Amino acid sequence: MNPKLERNELNVKTDINRISKRKTNLKKALTYLAFVGPALVFFLVIQIIPFLMGVYYSFTSWNGVSSVVEWVGLENYKKIFTSDPQFFSSFLFTTKFMLAAVAVSNLIGFGFALLLNAALKTRNILRTVFFIPNVIGGLLLGFIWQFIFIKGFSSIGNVTGLAFFKLPWLGDEVTAFWGIVIVFAWQISGYMMVIYIAALQGVDNSLLEAARIDGASNFTLLTKIIIPLILPAFTICFFLTISMAFKIFDLNLSLTGGGPFNSTQSVAINIYQEAFQNNRYGLGTAKSILFFLVVAVFTTVQVMLTKKREVEA
């Protein structure tokens, strides 16, 4: 056979394979684009573009209404650090609230998970009951608990005479703080419970049975076997509760509105008041950028530490 014809046939086959690969790759790209494209567009429009605009406005003195946007550079950030003590007070409150809320909500959620992972006849009903508060909106939940703290506890206190129910739950700095923690934990612990239950159901029962045969107590089973095996669930739950607690807004707004005397004002409420009530949008966005950086640092450090514990376990 003619060598030239052989080379031509080989070149034709190569070209056909290239065209086929290109069509396959194009088909895959179009398939990925069809599935990912709409979500990516919404993510860009709702998240990325507003964030970049916020970064830009943080360097301006825009009031949120005027068509004139004046560039002021780092002036807003200087104001925050030199002449805005209330912002740092709200940051301190939010940090303390985050620590308390994360501890309480995860403790309750994990306790519920251990309880409902057992062979109880009513566990499915109880799981639903414990999860329901998570689907109630924060504003509605706040107003419901405001009524409970003010009217319900007062009535119970008058009937029983117990000092616990006679406390000024939303009228004092200390009790208002713990009131918000209680409501937050009541709302979010059911969600954490679901994550912990999913992790507990993935634990191999044969390991637990072998440990029991070797004489391990329930406490040893929990601390030496169960918790190390479900550390990824703790990583997820800590991450979620830290970010949720830091960003608390609607629950705080409806329960106390930041009072009494701004003692329970979260960072989110401080930013909201600065941008939309005081009409200092540039300063408000500067605060939100700083807030974003702090939350990012906290959550990153938490994930790194818990991931390290997972590897060690």
Give residue-wise pLDDT tens across range 240-257.
999 999 999 989 999 988
Structure-derived torsion over alpha carbons of residues 133, 143, 91, 182, reported in degrees to the nearest 10: -50
Tell me: do 285 and 142 sit in the same domain. Answer: yes
Tell me: do 138 and 46 sit in the same domain. Answer: no
> Do the domain assignments include residue 151?
yes
> Do the domain assignments include residue 152?
yes
> Do the domain assignments include residue 158?
yes
Tell me: do 48 and 87 sit in the same domain. Answer: no
Tell me: do 33 and 122 sit in the same domain. Answer: no
Tell me: do 209 and 139 sit in the same domain. Answer: yes
Tell me: do 226 and 269 sit in the same domain. Answer: yes
pLDDT of residue 6: 55
Tell me: do 196 and 109 sit in the same domain. Answer: yes
Confidence at 312, pLDDT banded by 50, 70, 90: low
Alpha carbon distance 255, 248 (integer Å) = 12
> Do the domain assignments include residue 63?
no
Tokens 């406005």 sit at which residue? Answer: 57
Alpha carbon distance 236, 223 (integer Å) = 19
pLDDT surpasses 80 at 167: yes
Q: Is 258 left (phi over 0), alpha (psi -120 to 50) or beta?
A: left
Residue 246 structure tokens: 């830091």
Q: What percentage of the chain carries pLDDT values higher than 70?
A: 93
Choose the weakest-confidence range: 43-52, 122-131, 287-296: 122-131
Nearest to 131 by CA among 197, 183, 194, 184: 194
Tell me: do 108 and 196 sit in the same domain. Answer: yes
Nearest to 254 by CA among 176, 173, 175: 176
> Do the domain assignments include residue 205?
yes
- CATH number at 215 reads 1.10.3720.10
> Do the domain assignments include residue 70?
no
pLDDT of residue 3: 58
Q: Considering its fold, how many domains does the chain have in total?
A: 2
Tell me: do 186 and 222 sit in the same domain. Answer: yes
**Helix, strand, or coil (residue 60):** strand
Tell me: do 180 and 305 sit in the same domain. Answer: yes
Give residue-wise pLDDT tens across range 245-289.
999 998 999 998 888 888 899 999 999 999 988 889 999 999 999
> Do the domain assignments include residue 67?
no
Tell me: do 150 and 12 sit in the same domain. Answer: no
> Do the domain assignments include residue 219?
yes
177 exposure class (CB count in 10 Å sphere: 0-12, 13-18, 19+): middle
**What angle do helix axes 123-131 and 85-116 make, rounded to 10 degrees?**
170
pLDDT of residue 311: 63
From 10, 26, 57, the end of a domain falls on 57
Start-to-end CA span in the chain (Å): 68
Cβ contacts of 97 within 8 Å, gap of 6 or more: 177, 180, 181, 184, 245, 248, 266
Give residue-wise pLDDT tens across range 26-82.
888 888 888 888 888 999 999 899 999 999 999 999 888 888 888 998 999 999 999
Tell me: do 136 and 100 sit in the same domain. Answer: yes
Domain that holds residue 30: 1-57
